[in-house]
Homo-oligomer: A and B are copies of this chain.
Amino acid sequence: MNIGDAARASGVSAKMIRYYEQSGLIPKAGRTAGGYRDYSANDVHMLRFVRRARDLGFSIVEIEELLQLWRDRSRQSADVKRIALARIADLRRRIHAMEEMAATLQHLASSCSGDHRPDCPILADLEQGEVAKPRRTRGAIDEAPQ
């Protein structure tokens, strides 16, 4: 099975499959006589695993861990659960930060007349807003693929 077929079957683009292989996330695929990468149904299975994990927002590093646990028949479910719980905690933190942003903006927007006049409390806030340091939250998974 060529990389294109594997891509279609797994939902991971051919580009990404090569990238994952090159970065060591997945093992190097076998090659045909012509030098093409060759994939088995099992490989597709693994690619789907990766895709599903990315859809759930796991980072590449976390997926690396999950893949190892997946392959390890003697793994303990606690190890997997630990990663999942950490991911949940991370999500909750990001959600909370984003909710605060939305609330602040909502407050500003609702006190803004939104008409033709130049007065605007939103700009007024930006102008002098005292700034705590809510670390960047626009990274990682919430940044949709372009």
In the assembled complex, which residues on chain B have CB atoms less than 8 Å from the CB atom of A131? 10-11, 48, 51-52, 55
- Are B99 and A11 touching (Cβ within 8 A)? no
- Of the candidates A52, A104, A126, A143, the one having the most CB atoms from chain B within 10 angstroms of its own CB is A126
> Please, what's the 1-or-0 string for A55-98, where 1 marks a CB less than 8 Å from any CB in chain B?
11101000000100110011111101110110110011011011
Kindly state whether residue A117 has any CB partner on chain B within 8 Å.
yes
In the assembled complex, which residues on chain B have CB atoms less than 8 Å from the CB atom of A10? 131
**Which residues from chain A sit less than 8 Å from chain B, CB to CB?**
10-11, 13, 45, 48-49, 51-57, 59, 66, 69-70, 73-78, 80-82, 84-85, 87-88, 91-92, 94-95, 97-99, 101-102, 104-106, 108-109, 112-120, 122-123, 125-129, 131-139, 141-146
Could you write out 17 A-B pairs with CB less than 8 Å apart?
A11-B133, A52-B126, A55-B133, A55-B138, A56-B105, A59-B138, A66-B126, A70-B126, A80-B122, A81-B112, A81-B120, A84-B105, A87-B105, A91-B98, A97-B142, A98-B141, A142-B144
Rounded to whole angstroms, the CA-CA distance of A108 and B92 in the bound complex is 16
Known contacts A137-B145, A138-B145, A141-B142; A102 and B74 CB within 8 A of each other = no
| CB contact between A88 and one of B48, B70, B85, B109 (< 8 Å): that residue | B109
